[in-house]
C-alpha cells in the first residue's frame, strides 16, 4: 500500500477513535413537570429545578450545549428562552397552562412528545447527541425521543415510586401503579441511570432490577458562591428582622406530608412543654408553600401550630428566591429536615454551605449530606421527642450552632457543581459508547 494511502487510513482510524470516545456536544434535557425557570418551593418546583439549572449551566461551561424541554405553564412565555450562554429552555404546549396537577400530567405526555418532535424536525439528523431525562414523566418522553433520534438515553429518577411508597407519611397518598410500571420501563431502556447516592443506586438495582453496570453515582452539587457564610448570622438576622439572641430552628421546603414539617412543630411543642422558660427564646420559621398532597389542606400546618399552642413562636413565610433563601439558612441556628424520603436533600448541603448545621431524618441521601455529630445530627425515625432532644442541645449550648456550622461549611466545599458536571459529562461519554456498541451488535 502506498505510504500516502496508508497515512490516510491511519488518520481516518485515529479520527474514528476520537469520535468513539468524544463526549456529546449537544444534549436534549427533558423536564416535563417542572420548569427550570420556576422558583423552588412553589408548586412542584424544588431541588430538581435547582439541579437542572445548575447542571445545565456548568455543562455549557465545559462546552456541552444544553436545550431544556419543559411544559408551557403560562400564556406569556416565549417559545425559547436563553437561560445562560449555551443553555436554551424550550417551552412545549401540552395541556392547560395553569392549574394542572402533576397527577394529570401522564395524559399530556403524548402532546409533550409531539412538541419535542416538532422542535427536532427543524434540525438536521443527529442534531442532539444525547437525551438526558429527569423524573419518570420525562423518562417516558426521553425513551421515545432517544429511539426516534438514534441517540443514547441517560435518565435521572430524582425520586422513585417504590421507595416513596415504602416510606409513606401518615395521610400521604401512595404513588400509582402506572408510575411504578413507567419507571420499570425506563430503567430497562436507559443506556445509563444517574443516581444521587450509592443508596439510590442500590435501590434501583433492588427495586427495579437495574443493571449495576448501567448505574452511575453522581452527587448533586451546591452553588458555593451563593450559599456561603458570607457576612455571618448576625447580619442575616438583621436583614430578615429576626431576634439576634433567639434559637431558630428553620424548615425550608415544600409543605407536604413527605417533607414532614409537622414533626418540627410537634418537637417544638414537646420542647416548650418540658421547658416553658424557653418560649421567649425560640422562633420557628416555616419557609415554603403547599405542594403535592399538602395542597389538599394548605392551612393544615397553621392549624396544627394553633392546636399545639405554639402559634406565637411559628412564622409562616412564602417561598423565597435563592439569594434570600441563603440568608434564611445563615440566620438559622439549625435547619430541620424530618423528611420521610429524600433522594439527596439538596437543601441540607445548601444550609451547611451557608454555615448552618442540619438536624435531619436518617433517610435516603441525608446520611451522605450530613456528617452525624459533626456537621449536624441524624435522627432514626420520626418521633418528635427525639427531635426535641436535639433541639434542646442547641438551646443549652449557645456555641453549638457556630461550632458545627464551621465544620458544615467545610464539609459542603466538596459538593461543588463543577465536579458534578464533570462527572455527568463522563456518564454521557460512557452512555454514548454503550449505545454505539448496542447499535453495532444489533446490526451485526
pLDDT in tens, 276-308: 999 999 999 999 877 655 655 658 899 999 999
The sheet carrying 65-71 orders its strands as 80-84, 87-92, 65-71, 26-31, 130-134, 153-156, 192-195, 215-217
Helix %, strand %, coil % of the chain (to 5): 50, 15, 35
In whole angstroms, give the CA distance from residue 132 to residue 134.
Answer: 7
| CB 363 within 8 Å of CB 341 | yes
Q: Which residue ranges are tagged as binding site? A: 33, 39-40, 44-49, 102, 135, 159, 179, 254, 259, 320, 329-330, 332, 342, 350, 356
In the DSSP assignment, the letter for residue 314 is E
Residues 346-361 have pLDDT tens digits of 899 999 999 999 999 9
Q: Which residue ranges are tagged as binding site for 1D-myo-inositol 3-phosphate? A: 33, 44-49, 102, 135, 159, 179
Written as nine digits, the cell of 358 is 442540619
Reported in sequence order, the residue ranges of 32-106 that DSSP labels E, i.e. its strands, are 65-71, 80-84, 87-92
Residues 59-101 have pLDDT tens digits of 999 999 999 999 988 888 889 999 999 999 999 988 877 767 7
Residue 371's pLDDT band, with cuts at 50, 70 and 90, is very high
Check pLDDT > 90 for residue 345. Answer: no
Grid cell 411543642 — which residue? 269
In whole angstroms, give the CA distance from residue 126 to residue 122.
Answer: 12
- 192-225 core/surface letters (b: 16 or more CB in 10 A; e: else): bbbbbbebbbebbbebbebeeebbbbbbbbbbbe
Q: Which residue ranges are tagged as binding site for Mg(2+)? A: 329-330, 332, 356
| CB 301 within 8 Å of CB 255 | yes
Written as nine digits, the cell of 386 is 427525639
Q: Which residue ranges are tagged as binding site for UDP-N-acetyl-alpha-D-glucosamine? A: 39-40, 47, 254, 259, 320, 342, 350
Triad 180, 42, 346: Cα angle to 5°: 70
Grid cell 439528523 — which residue? 125
| CB 39 within 8 Å of CB 45 | yes
Grid cell 445562560 — which residue? 84
Residue 444's pLDDT band, with cuts at 50, 70 and 90, is low
Residue 19, pLDDT score: 43
| CB 161 within 8 Å of CB 175 | yes
Percent of the chain whose predicted confidence (pLDDT) is above 70? 91
Triad 186, 190, 193: Cα angle to 5°: 95
Grid cell 412543654 — which residue? 273
Check pLDDT > 70 for residue 398. Answer: yes
Residue 13, pLDDT score: 43
Q: What is the DSSP string of 356-380?
A: --EEEES-TTHHHHS-BTTTEEEES
Residues 6 or more apart from 252 whose CB is under 8 A from it? 41, 287, 288, 325, 328, 329, 335, 347, 351
Residues 226-278 have pLDDT tens digits of 999 999 999 999 999 999 999 999 999 888 788 899 999 999 999 999 999 99
In whole angstroms, give the CA distance from residue 74 to residue 92.
Answer: 11
Indicate the helix (H) or strand (E) that contains 405.
Answer: helix 400-412
Tell me whether residue 246 is exposed, middle or buried, using C-beta atoms within 10 angstroms of its C-beta: 0 to 12, 13 to 18, 19 or more: middle
Q: Is 131 left (phi over 0), alpha (psi -120 to 50) or beta?
A: beta
Pairing of β 87-92 and β 80-84: antiparallel
Phi, psi of 175 (to 5 degrees): -70, 145
Amino acid at each position: 500500500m502506498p505510504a500516502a494511502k496508508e497515512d490516510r487510513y491511519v488518520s481516518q482510524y485515529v479520527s474514528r477513535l476520537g469520535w468513539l470516545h468524544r463526549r456529546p456536544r449537544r444534549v436534549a434535557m427533558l423536564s416535563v413537570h417542572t420548569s427550570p425557570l420556576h422558583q423552588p418551593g412553589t408548586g412542584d418546583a424544588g431541588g430538581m429545578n435547582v439541579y437542572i439549572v445548575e447542571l445545565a449551566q456548568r455543562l455549557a461551561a465545559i462546552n456541552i450545549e444544553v436545550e431544556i424541554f419543559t411544559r408551557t405553564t403560562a400564556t406569556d412565555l416565549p417559545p425559547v428562552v436563553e437561560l445562560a450562554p449555551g443553555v436554551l429552555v424550550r417551552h412545549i404546549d401540552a395541556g392547560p397552562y395553569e392549574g394542572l396537577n402533576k397527577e394529570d400530567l401522564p395524559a399530556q405526555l403524548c402532546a409533550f412528545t409531539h412538541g419535542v418532535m416538532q422542535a427536532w424536525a427543524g434540525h438536521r439528523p443527529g442534531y442532539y447527541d444525547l437525551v438526558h431525562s429527569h423524573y419518570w414523566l420525562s423518562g417516558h418522553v426521553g425513551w421515545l425521543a432517544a429511539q426516534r433520534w438514534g441517540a443514547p438515553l441517560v435518565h435521572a429518577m430524582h425520586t422513585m415510586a417504590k421507595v416513596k411508597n415504602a416510606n409513606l407519611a401518615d395521610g400521604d397518598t401512595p404513588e400509582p401503579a402506572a408510575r411504578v410500571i413507567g419507571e420499570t420501563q425506563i430503567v430497562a431502556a436507559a443506556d445509563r441511570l444517574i443516581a444521587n447516592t450509592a443508596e439510590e443506586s442500590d435501590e434501583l438495582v433492588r427495586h427495579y432490577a437495574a443493571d449495576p453496570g448501567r448505574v452511575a453515582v453522581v452527587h448533586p452539587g451546591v452553588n458555593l458562591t451563593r450559599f456561603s457564610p458570607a457576612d455571618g448570622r448576625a447580619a442575616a438576622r438583621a436583614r430578615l428582622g429576626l431576634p439576634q439572641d433567639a434559637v431558630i430552628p428553620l424548615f425550608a421546603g415544600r409543605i407536604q406530608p413527605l417533607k414532614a414539617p409537622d414533626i418540627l412543630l410537634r418537637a417544638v411543642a414537646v420542647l416548650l412543654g418540658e421547658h416553658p422558660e424557653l418560649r421567649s427564646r425560640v422562633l420557628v420559621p416555616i419557609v415554603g408553600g403547599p405542594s403535592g398532597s399538602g395542597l389538599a389542606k394548605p392551612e393544615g400546618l397553621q392549624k396544627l401550630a394553633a392546636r399545639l399552642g405554639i402559634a406565637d413562636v411559628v412564622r409562616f413565610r412564602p417561598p423565597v428566591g435563592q439569594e434570600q433563601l441563603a440568608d434564611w439558612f445563615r440566620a438559622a441556628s439549625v435547619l430541620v429536615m424530618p423528611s420521610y424520603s429524600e433522594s439527596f436533600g439538596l437543601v441540607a448541603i445548601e444550609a451547611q454551605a451557608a454555615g448552618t448545621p442540619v438536624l435531619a431524618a436518617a433517610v435516603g441521601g441525608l446520611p451522605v449530606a450530613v456528617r452525624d455529630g459533626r456537621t449536624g445530627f441524624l435522627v432514626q425515625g420520626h418521633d418528635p421527642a427525639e427531635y426535641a432532644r436535639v433541639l434542646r442541645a442547641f438551646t443549652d449550648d449557645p456555641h453549638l450552632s457556630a461550632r458545627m456550622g464551621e465544620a458544615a461549611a467545610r464539609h459542603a466545599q466538596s459538593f461543588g457543581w463543577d465536579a458534578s458536571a464533570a462527572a455527568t459529562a463522563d456518564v454521557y461519554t460512557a452512555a454514548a459508547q454503550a449505545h454505539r456498541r448496542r447499535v453495532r451488535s444489533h446490526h451485526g
